[in-house]
Amino acid sequence: MAKTKQKLAEEVLLELGRADAANPAESAEDIDLVKRRYEGVLKELDDTDLVFWDEDAIPVRVFTPLAKLIASECAQAFGTVYDGRDANGKTPLQRLQAIGARDNTAWPTKAEYF
């Protein structure tokens, strides 16, 4: 089941401590900022062939590392510091690269005939 851009923005704000599960009082401005940063990061990731999902249909397997990556991109705007490394010391980008390397080998290839 895919997650939406809205859910991603909410998760990023939870990661940054701007909201909590019991009181998710995110402002519309905060949500919009996160969505704009996501769109920018998505373009950068797409340039490196890491994006295999639609913008508003984020696969569950990339949702958490992507949320952590966006949180690290948004942290300064919210006046905080955020690293996002996992227990093994991998950055969110490294986790996305590992997922992308595993997934892009199964992409269908479109043949061009001359």
Q: What is the rounded CA–CA span in Å between residue 95 and residue 55? A: 19
Domain count, the chain: 1
Q: What predicted TM-score, i.e. pTM, was given to this entire model?
A: 0.79
Is residue 32 assigned to a domain? yes
| Among 49-53, 86-90, 108-112, the least confident range | 108-112
**How do residues 16-40 score in pLDDT, each as one tens digit?**
888 766 666 568 888 999 999 999 9
| Residue 44, in any domain of the structure | yes
Domain range for 48 is: 5-102
45 half-sphere exposure, CB direction, 13 A CA radius: 27
In a domain? residue 40:
yes
Residue 60 binned pLDDT confidence (cut-offs 50, 70, 90)? very high
Tell me if 75 is assigned to some domain.
yes
Residue 110 inside a domain? The answer is: no
Kindly state whether residue 62 falls inside one of the protein's structural domains: yes
Tell me the pLDDT tens digit for each residue of 64-103. 999 999 999 999 988 888 888 888 889 888 898 888 765 5
The total of other beta-carbon atoms located within 10 Å of residue 21's CB is 7
Has residue 82 been placed in a domain? yes
Domain membership of residue 17 (yes or no) is yes
